[in-house]
Amino acid sequence: MDDSGITILEILTALTLSGILAASAVFEFAELDAAWRLQSGVRQVALDLRMARIGAIARAKALRLRFEEGSASYTREVKSAHGTYSAPSGPRLLPRGVRISSCTARGSAVSFQPRGNAGTFGTITLLGPDGATRHIVVDLVGRVQVRR
């Protein structure tokens, strides 16, 4: 007699192994997703800082980004002729789960002068959903660097 069919035991074994592999993939994806969101937030802030520097040079007006600890957003502001800063648009949201851990710049704002140098400078630290941190450093000459 030829028994070339699949037994119920073989099906249950295959389903169990598939379930274990799927569960481990979900956990791995969650870790990768958290790291990706933090990296995305770091890129966004670094690019906005670089664009603020370029904008300050192009407009011949001081620009700054203001950061609030614990917040999931930051604000781009332009300096008026009266010497006050105002936000031309709403806050910039960070990716889900990413927060501003700290900003060492005076007044929690990094500013750029019309010549491109930094008026206020320091380190912005972002906190990811998994507790990992990344640092964006702006130096006196206005250079923006990303550090671990």
Residue-level pLDDT at 143:
97
Q: What is the mean pLDDT of residues 17-29?
A: 73
Whether residue 2 is contained in a domain is answered as no
Q: Is residue 3 part of a domain?
A: no
Residue 42's domain comprises: 8-147
Query: What is the count of structural domains for the chain?
Result: 1
Q: How far is CA 47 from the centre of its chain?
A: 10
Residue 52 to residue 87: CA distance in whole angstroms: 13
CA pair distance 10, 117, nearest whole angstrom: 69
The CATH number of the domain where 47 resides is what?
3.55.40.10
- Extract the tokens encoding 102: 């700290």
* Residue 1 within any structural domain of the chain: no
pLDDT band at 6; cut points 50, 70, 90: confident
Using a CB cutoff of 8 Å and minimum separation of 24, what contacts does 42-46 make? Answer: 42/126, 42/134, 42/136, 42/146, 44/92, 44/94, 44/95, 45/74, 45/94, 45/124, 45/126, 45/136, 46/136, 46/144, 46/146
Confidence band (pLDDT; 50, 70, 90) for 9? confident
Pairing status of strand 109-112 against strand 85-86: unpaired
What Cα–Cα distance (Å) separates residue 70 from each residue in 110, 117, 127? 17, 27, 9
Residue 37 within any structural domain of the chain? yes
Rounded mean pLDDT, 122-126: 98
Is a pLDDT exceeding 60 seen at residue 27? yes
